[in-house]
Chains A and B, each alone.
Chain A
Amino acid sequence: MTKLAMPKIDRKLISKKKDIVIDLEKILKRENILDHEDQTRPFETDGLSAYKQKPLVVVFPENTKEVSKVLAYCNQKRIKVVPRGAGTGLSGGALPLADSLLLCLGKFNKIIDIDFKNRCVVAQPGVTNLSITNAVQDKDFYYAPDPSSQIACSIGGNVAENSGGVHSLKYGTTTNNLLGVEVVFMDGTISRLGGKTFDSEGYDLLGLITGSEGLLCVITEVTVKILKKPQTVKAALIGFSTIEDGGRCVSDIIANGIIPSGMEMMDKALIHATDNFVKAGYPRDAEAMLIVELDGTEKEVEELIDRVDKIAKKNKSSSIKISKNEKQRLKFWAGRKAAFPACGDMAPDYYCMDGTIPRGKLAEVLKEIGRLSKKYNLPVANAFHAGDGNLHPLIMYDANEKNSLEKTEKFGAEILKYCVKIGGVLTGEHGVGVEKRELMCEMFNNNDIQQQIKIKRALDSSSLLNPGKVYPILRKCAEEGRVHVHRGKTKFSDIPRF
């Protein structure tokens, strides 16, 4: 485990643990408070399991009023609070602090309203992403954002992270499919933002809190848009003998005015790993492979497949396979969706990165990743939401080897810095969390970060909600010297520690 600087531990507060628990018992049922070490251990980490920290206390409020009371109490007593949904996040956004209360939304697990007339579903935040689609699919509706963890991740967590998925190219990410939320701010104020209407008047607070990684408020209810399933969906499996050809094909499809519902790319390493894993019928001789999914009416899909076929051939595709039926289409996807577990065959551990780049720079970035892979002597496999430029390099390592995680993290950081350098961003859908916190200064300057911190303070004046996430802790930056020290000078010496 590498060292990670977090906000200074309030030892005095930890010594008052007993009193805090007694106070919490006045707000919550006793069984919803976990304070013994054995009870808090399961919550010491989230999807970024490299970092672990047991919280002071874990609480499971059952309704919004309880959340409000807990937050108001913590605000008054200056107790830090880390909110947690399903704990599937990959950037350490729900990593507890030793002196924090971990607020779990697991008991908020009901769908409150299925409203076909207004084409929306109102759900509590602990409901899983996939349950929403399951609740409306009998009438052929679905909820569009589909992060690969959709079977387990919670809708509240999706809002906090602004999760995407393979269909966000055409249907947008969480923020584009969200109509309203009920939230509780750190002082205990309960507020409704948006509702069953489009947009909201005044400042778009709904837009602001979406993707705010639990730093601004706790989400207690979510209203999302649902869509009717398209009549026809087909997928094309296209192989290329070079990554450059595949990359050009992606740009060419978009430039031709086609927006596929999904467009995924995998490199040779991943084609083999996933094909071994699920026998999806992937072109094993190809250097790169695209899955292009098209939806619409029957004729429309036929036309689009035809056009994609021509574009692929123009870009020297080595093989093209079109799904003949729904079973085959799902088989095509099975490999892609198993990309992460399939990596288990290649190495004991892998580290999943998440940057976004301009689509046209794909080949250039993959080349650079290849170079870095040699430099660090760590193999890498690449999955790529090619349509929207979201790259997921999977770095293979063995956690039992000394310093291997540190080396992997350095490799990952170099990839992300390169993404920013060529006009992309640090994170496309996994969030900054603790993982990319120290890289924020690669993308933003002092003024930009200060402005964001001021917004944080405007809604949480004592910085008690999920501190230590998203924004760099400056002293650490300087000590580590891995990001911010440039020619011996700290870049942002005037940023207060946060």
Chain B
Amino acid sequence: MSIEEKQNFPTYQDSDFIEYPQDEQAVSQFIKKFYKSNIPVELIGAGSKRKIGRPLQCAKTLNLSKIKGIIEYLPEELYIKVKACTPIEQIEEELKKNKQQLAFEPIDFGYLFNGKKDYGTAAGQVSCNISGPRRFKAGSIRDHVLGFRGVNGKGEIIKSGGNVVKNVTGYDLSKLICGSYGTLVALTEITFKVLPASAESSTLILHNQKIESANYLLGQAISSSNDISGASFFPSEIKAAGYKIDIEKTFKLNDLKHKGSLTAIRIEGSKNSINERIKNLINELKITNINISILDTYQSEIFWNKVKNLEFFIPSNNSIFRIVIPPSKCTQLIYQLSEKFKYSIDWGGALIWMEAFELSEEMFESIRKKVVKIGGYLTMIKNSEYLPFVEDVFTINSDRFNISQNIKKSFDPKRILNPGKMYTGI
């Protein structure tokens, strides 16, 4: 089998031989060797998000999980520099000691894939660039990577960026690495921007809203000057007979007093400021006549952890996809789709998480078409058993494909790093 055939053949495998480099130099040596002998290699950290992207089977696997540890954390400089496969949990614990956080809210995909915690590594988060509920306010992962070191497809160690926020020295390769699914470099070191964690958090829950009014209210809340940091909607109805949504079971909290759909608005800051802003919001949104609950810091944190980790979507064999759209198109899109699905809305209507039942490839493509038409994109996050192999997990047009192919070649001329993980030929 030729190298090209191997790269494009989904089930090809030379052996199950996995390498565990101990440091950056070793990563570089391995990749140099693979480059010389034209050996495609799969890069993995903890493997918690390995199922996202196109199925991949390479001759070799480079397990980078030993490249871990915090290199430097300077709270007053607002950055933490870590070896690439440092567990996210370890980073978050360290930051907590100084009341700081990764403001993009890393998602724990373990619940979705295995029904339990499995946070994965810093490099995994960066490679996927899928951010949590605070994204619309705080930016996504790509906005929080200040610099990196890594090994390109020729085995050369390269770096970009630095430890400071304001930096325009050379191309911003950190952005390019975020969301590249290990197809450009094997990451060895990442510097994250960190931010103070808010002292308190509170969540205003509006009960029993229909999608139109929920999206309208969330939009109004984001467009206000109340600096909200979460804007989600969980519907109570479902567009599939025989399936139930059990909101009460997912969000079992003392102060959630009413049944039905949930429209949630998060406010973070000091206690006085939160109270002031909740009062403002209730006035500005004119919601004095609807049922509301207010969650305190403790419950609010539990609530948003569940939102962030997609616990609303109980592990199943169904397909899960992520739809990012202009927020004003959200309601219209949900009404347009006739497929059987369950969904939640985040980022005030700019993000839809969707679980589809009994989906065919044609139906999937038809949803994608509708999403692209309104200026959005759709990513298959989890493939169902009904769709064992969807060719295009990601959305791309031919222009961008050509550019992306050239970019890929500039990092990895022989296409040996995670070949085909994102697109055939990249």
Which residues of chain A come closer than 8 Å to B377, judged between CB atoms? 197, 200-201
Q: Does B186 contact A (CB under 8 A)?
A: no
Digitize A24-47: 1 where CB-to-B-CB distance is under 8 Å, 0 elsewhere. Answer: 000000000000000000000000
Chain B nearest CB, measured from A85 CB (Å): 15
Task: State whether B135 touches A198 (Cβ < 8 A).
Answer: yes
Task: State whether B273 touches A358 (Cβ < 8 A).
Answer: no
Q: How far is A195 from B157 in the complex, measured between Cα atoms in Å?
A: 33
Stretch at the interface among A1-9, A101-109, A223-231, A478-486: A223-231
Q: Does B116 contact A (CB under 8 A)?
A: no
Task: State whether A204 touches B409 (Cβ < 8 A).
Answer: no
Task: State whether A197 touches B143 (Cβ < 8 A).
Answer: no
Task: State whether B179 touches A199 (Cβ < 8 A).
Answer: yes
Task: State whether B156 touches A189 (Cβ < 8 A).
Answer: no
Task: State whether B169 touches A426 (Cβ < 8 A).
Answer: yes
Task: State whether B165 touches A168 (Cβ < 8 A).
Answer: yes
- Residues of chain B from 393 to 410 with CB closer than 8 A to chain A in the complex: 394-396, 399-400, 402-404, 406-407, 409-410
Which residues of chain B come closer than 8 Å to A444, judged between CB atoms? 159, 170
Which residues of chain B come closer than 8 Å to A175, judged between CB atoms? 143, 172, 175
Which residues of chain B come closer than 8 Å to A448, judged between CB atoms? 158-160, 170
Q: How far is A175 from B396 in the complex, measured between Cα atoms in Å?
A: 22
Contacts across chains A and B counted by CB atoms under 8 Å: 255
Q: Does B176 contact A (CB under 8 A)?
A: yes
Chain A nearest CB, measured from B100 CB (Å): 8
Which residues of chain B come closer than 8 Å to A458, judged between CB atoms? 403, 406-407, 409-410
Chain A nearest CB, measured from B145 CB (Å): 10
Which residues of chain B come closer than 8 Å to A254, judged between CB atoms? 76-78
Task: State whether A199 touches B410 (Cβ < 8 A).
Answer: no
Chain A nearest CB, measured from B222 CB (Å): 7
Digitize B407-419: 1 where CB-to-A-CB distance is under 8 Å, 0 elsewhere. Answer: 1011100000000
Task: State whether A118 touches B273 (Cβ < 8 A).
Answer: no
Q: Does B47 contact A (CB under 8 A)?
A: no
Q: Does A54 contact B (CB under 8 A)?
A: no
Chain B nearest CB, measured from A259 CB (Å): 6
Digitize A117-137: 1 where CB-to-B-CB distance is under 8 Å, 0 elsewhere. Answer: 111000000000000000000
Task: State whether B196 touches A258 (Cβ < 8 A).
Answer: yes
Q: How far is A443 from B329 in the complex, measured between Cα atoms in Å?
A: 45
Digitize B7-46: 1 where CB-to-A-CB distance is under 8 Å, 0 elsewhere. Answer: 0000000000000000000000000000000000000000
Which residues of chain A come closer than 8 Å to B404, judged between CB atoms? 202-203, 205
Which of these, B174, B175, B272, contacts A299 with CB under 8 Å? B272
Task: State whether B225 touches A231 (Cβ < 8 A).
Answer: yes
Q: How far is A440 from B199 in the complex, measured between Cα atoms in Å?
A: 41
Number of interface residues, chain B, beta carbon within 8 A: 85
Which residues of chain B come closer than 8 Å to A204, judged between CB atoms? 129, 142, 175-176, 178-180
Which residues of chain A come closer than 8 Å to B395, judged between CB atoms? 201-202
List the B residue with the shortest CB-CB distance to A461.
Answer: B406
- Residues of chain B from 128 to 179 with CB closer than 8 A to chain A in the complex: 129, 131, 135-136, 139-140, 142-143, 152, 156-160, 162-176, 178-179
Which of these, B166, B406, B422, contacts A459 with CB under 8 Å? B406
Which residues of chain B come closer than 8 Å to A257, judged between CB atoms? 99-100, 196-197, 199
Which residues of chain B come closer than 8 Å to A189, judged between CB atoms? 399, 402
Which of these, A205, A255, A300, A426, contacts B272 with CB under 8 Å? A300
Task: State whether B410 touches A207 (Cβ < 8 A).
Answer: no
Task: State whether B328 touches A117 (Cβ < 8 A).
Answer: yes
Task: State whether A191 touches B399 (Cβ < 8 A).
Answer: yes
Task: State whether B406 touches A197 (Cβ < 8 A).
Answer: no
Q: Does A447 contact B (CB under 8 A)?
A: yes
- Residues of chain B from 74 to 124 with CB closer than 8 A to chain A in the complex: 74-78, 99-100
Q: Does B358 contact A (CB under 8 A)?
A: no
Q: Does A246 contact B (CB under 8 A)?
A: no
Q: Does B325 contact A (CB under 8 A)?
A: yes
List the A residue with the shortest CB-CB distance to B197.
Answer: A257
- Residues of chain B from 299 to 350 with CB closer than 8 A to chain A in the complex: 324-328, 347, 350
Q: Does A303 contact B (CB under 8 A)?
A: yes
Q: How far is A228 from B222 in the complex, measured between Cα atoms in Å?
A: 9
List the B residue with the shortest CB-CB distance to A390.
Answer: B166
Task: State whether A201 touches B169 (Cβ < 8 A).
Answer: no
List the B residue with the shortest CB-CB distance to A190.
Answer: B399
Q: Does B293 contact A (CB under 8 A)?
A: no
Taking A198-B351, A202-B396, A297-B273 as contacts, is the C-beta distance between A389 and B160 under 8 angstroms?
A: no
Number of interface residues, chain A, beta carbon within 8 A: 90
Q: How far is A216 from B171 in the complex, measured between Cα atoms in Å?
A: 10
Taking A118-B327, A428-B166 as contacts, is the C-beta distance between A205 and B158 under 8 angstroms?
A: no
Task: State whether A229 touches B76 (Cβ < 8 A).
Answer: no
Q: Does B360 contact A (CB under 8 A)?
A: no
Q: Does A83 contact B (CB under 8 A)?
A: no
Q: Does A84 contact B (CB under 8 A)?
A: no
Task: State whether A303 touches B273 (Cβ < 8 A).
Answer: yes
Which residues of chain A come closer than 8 Å to B166, judged between CB atoms? 164, 168, 173, 356, 385, 388-390, 428-429
Q: How far is A390 from B394 in the complex, measured between Cα atoms in Å?
A: 38
Stretch at the interface among A57-65, A323-331, A449-457: A449-457
Q: Does A272 contact B (CB under 8 A)?
A: no
List the A residue with the shortest CB-CB distance to B144.
Answer: A176
Which residues of chain B come closer than 8 Å to A379, judged between CB atoms? none
- Which of B171, B195, B277 is most buried by chain A, counting CB atoms within 10 A of its CB? B171
Q: Does B269 contact A (CB under 8 A)?
A: yes
Taking A189-B399, A197-B325 as contacts, is the C-beta distance between A203 and B407 under 8 angstroms?
A: yes
Which residues of chain A come closer than 8 Å to B273, judged between CB atoms? 296-297, 299-300, 303
Taking A164-B166, A204-B129, A230-B225 as contacts, is the C-beta distance between A451 and B158 under 8 angstroms?
A: yes
Taking A360-B77, A389-B165, A429-B166 as contacts, is the C-beta distance between A207 and B375 under 8 angstroms?
A: no
List the A residue with the shortest CB-CB distance to B226.
Answer: A297
Q: Does B224 contact A (CB under 8 A)?
A: yes
Q: How far is A431 from B167 in the complex, measured between Cα atoms in Å?
A: 9
Q: Does B376 contact A (CB under 8 A)?
A: yes
Task: State whether B400 touches A191 (Cβ < 8 A).
Answer: yes
Which residues of chain A come closer than 8 Å to B167, judged between CB atoms? 356, 425, 427-428
Q: Does A382 contact B (CB under 8 A)?
A: no
Taking A197-B375, A208-B175 as contacts, is the C-beta distance between A228 and B223 under 8 angstroms?
A: yes
List the A residue with the shortest CB-CB distance to B322.
Answer: A201
Task: State whether B163 touches A211 (Cβ < 8 A).
Answer: no
Q: How far is A205 from B406 in the complex, measured between Cα atoms in Å?
A: 12
Q: Does A470 contact B (CB under 8 A)?
A: yes
Which residues of chain A come closer than 8 Å to B248, judged between CB atoms? none
Chain A nearest CB, measured from B72 CB (Å): 10
Taking A197-B377, A254-B76 as contacts, is the C-beta distance between A203 and B227 under 8 angstroms?
A: no
Digitize A228-242: 1 where CB-to-B-CB distance is under 8 Å, 0 elsewhere. Answer: 111100000000000
- Which of B173, B180, B402 is most buried by chain A, counting CB atoms within 10 A of its CB? B173
Q: Does B424 contact A (CB under 8 A)?
A: no
Which residues of chain B come closer than 8 Å to A427, judged between CB atoms? 167-169
Q: Does B69 contact A (CB under 8 A)?
A: no
Q: How far is A360 from B78 in the complex, measured between Cα atoms in Å?
A: 11
Task: State whether B219 touches A447 (Cβ < 8 A).
Answer: no
Which residues of chain A come closer than 8 Å to B326, judged between CB atoms? 118, 195-197
Which of these, B172, B276, B347, B350, contacts A300 with CB under 8 Å? B276
List the A residue with the shortest CB-CB distance to B348.
Answer: A119
17 pairs, CB–CB < 8 Å, chain A vs chain B: A172-B139, A176-B139, A189-B402, A201-B394, A202-B179, A207-B178, A229-B225, A296-B227, A356-B162, A356-B165, A388-B165, A388-B166, A436-B169, A444-B170, A448-B170, A455-B407, A458-B406
The 3 closest A-B pairs by CB, nearest first: A207-B175, A257-B196, A300-B273
Binding site for A on B (CB under 8 A): 74-78, 99-100, 129, 131, 135-136, 139-140, 142-143, 152, 156-160, 162-176, 178-180, 184, 195-197, 199, 219, 222-227, 269-270, 272-273, 276-277, 280, 324-328, 347, 350-351, 375-377, 379, 394-396, 399-400, 402-404, 406-407, 409-411, 422-423
Given contacts A199-B140, A303-B272, 12 further A-B contacts (CB under 8 A): A176-B143, A195-B375, A204-B129, A204-B178, A205-B176, A208-B172, A254-B76, A303-B270, A427-B169, A431-B168, A444-B170, A457-B410
